[in-house]
Structure formats: C-alpha cells, structure tokens
Structure 1
C-alpha cells in the first residue's frame, strides 16, 4: 500500500545512491556512512616492460582482464604471463598533490586460453591499503619497478617530487 503525502498524492521516496563502503572506527551515522571517494585512486597495469593507466581495472575490465575467466587456483593457468595492477592514490598537502599510496597486486593471464588467476580479496585489500596511504610493492621485479617509476614521473613530475621517500626508495628512485 502506498503512503499518501499531503493532498492525497503518493509520497515519493528519496532515492539513495550507493557507494563503496569500508569498515572504519568512526561511529556509523546512517546510510552511506563510511563511504570513501575513489576519485583519487587510479589503476596502473604493469605488463612486462610496459606500464599504463587503465581505469577499467576498477571494475576488472582493464585491457589485460577483458575476456578472461579468472580462477583463484594458480594451477588453472599454467601458461599465464604475470601482470600487475598497481593501485595509486593521490593526495594533497599544502605544497600540492602527490602520490600518497601505491600497492601492487599480482595476476596471471593467458589470453589464448582466455583463463587467468588472481585473488580478488587481495586486490580489494590492496586497493584499501593504497587509499590508506600505504606502499606495498613486494614482488615487483626491477624492470617493473622501473616502468612504474617512469610512468609516475612522466605523468606528473611535480607529484613525484612531493611524494614520500618510501615510494621513491621502493621504486629505486
């Protein structure tokens, strides 16, 4: 049964938008409390010596992920090539914007077999860690670190200069 507003017309319910929620130590204050803004995070794909920004990774639709059926079992992808998604968060200080967090997530892709391997929970957790201003670049080889460093520097040299030493040291720069 519809609720009636003033004048006997049906009352319109306010539409609530959905957002990505995270658990925090803040007190919950209703719908949407604890939402985070993903506008300040980007996804970088590392594929061999190549590094490029691919926002499609936010929805598992990056160039390397499209058309791939992912499995949580590495043995399902014996001929997979290693690729990485690096979540990069940008923040602003009094001096200006800078790279504030970066975390790397491994995956294997075999485009011929249309199969891949990744641990979705790891990707979600690493995205969260990047947003929390952490640097987790374990597992990246030197050539991958160099490709990421080059991309970040070329994308915005001023942001790179203002970035924490943890990031620069982690990428050998």
Structure 2
C-alpha cells in the first residue's frame, strides 16, 4: 500500500467506542464527557465529497484553517457552504453502528479569509450526537445525499446496515 493510500485510509476511519475509560473507579474525571466514540465528517457540496477530518474536533479541520470566524453570516455572503457532521458510533450485538448524527453549517470565503459558524450550534449538535440523536433535517438535499452515500459505503456498509431506522429515514434514498 502506498503512503498516500495508507494516509487516506488512516484519515477515513471512524473512532469506535472503546472499553469504559473509568474501569469502575469513581475518581477524577467521572462525569466528564468522552469524545472517543465521535468522529467529524466534512461534507463539501462544492466538490461533491465527504470525508473524515478528526481535526474538526478541535476546530482545526482543513476547511477551518487560515480563516477568521465571524458571528455574522452577512460577512461571508460570497462564501462556500460546508457541513461538519458529528457522527457518534457504538458497538452493538451485530457490530459497530452509527448512533448519533448531527450536521453543523460552516460558510467559508477564502478570498477575504473569513468564515461563519455558530459555535453554540456546533457544541449543541456535538452533545446531541453523543446522546444518539439524528439532526440533519436542516441540511440541504445534496449535502444529505453526500452524507448518506459516505455512511452507507463506509467499510463495506456494515455500520450503515446496523444503524437505526431513524437515521436511514432521515437521509434520502
């Protein structure tokens, strides 16, 4: 396998939940949120592609780099729309599956090095994805189709097949 295809495979991996990080002890960190079973999928409708970019977990995805974020959508009227979709996975009796999926919008105008995103929305969607909620109804059909194709094709489609009907019904056929 070439280095490039090895890097591509490494980037396009979902983080599957591991054993309980607390191992039964009730010490420091109990009650904190673990993000180890969440991955961030970038939907780029401009290039008709979807891909995992774990750097989005720290607001450092390729889409978010080298731009200054604004709270005002009007600043980036000529920007390109992207979606960061917070995808939570779990292991069930039939294997791993997608349990929570929530999309958050980003608009980027590289020509002026400015971008828009609602941080409260991103945080809320991350939390709701962790709780197993499906929030994609505000996404446009093209972005939802890209997301569905990516999830359904990932690792041969096993995770998609194991996923709840609510997710399958929320994304187009």
Same fold per TM (> 0.5)? yes
TM-score, normalization: structure 1?
0.80
Report Cα offsets for 1:74-124 as digits up to 9, x if no partner: 112121111110000001111111000000001110111110001111101
Corresponding residue for 2:152? 153
Q: Runs of 5+ in structure 2 lacking a partner?
A: 1-25
Distance 1:130 1:71 in 2: 24
**How far 1:51 sits from its partner (Å)?**
0.9
In the alignment, is residue 41 of structure 1 matched against residue 43 of structure 2? no
Residues 115-135 of structure 1 show CA distances to partners (whole Å, capped at 9, x for unaligned) of 000111110110010000000
**What is the alpha-carbon distance in structure 2 between the residues aligned to residue 30 and residue 95 of structure 1?**
32
SS in 2 for 1:37: coil
Provide the residue aligned with 2:125 in structure 1. 126
Structure 2 residue aligned with 1:143: 142
Stretches of structure 1 lacking an aligned partner (at least 5 in a row)? 1-28
Q: Tell me by how many angstroms 1:158 deviates.
A: 0.7
- Structure 1 residue 30: deviation in Å? 6.0
Runs of at least 4 residues of structure 1 off by over 3 A?
none
Question: What is residue 67 of structure 1 aligned with on the other side?
Answer: 66
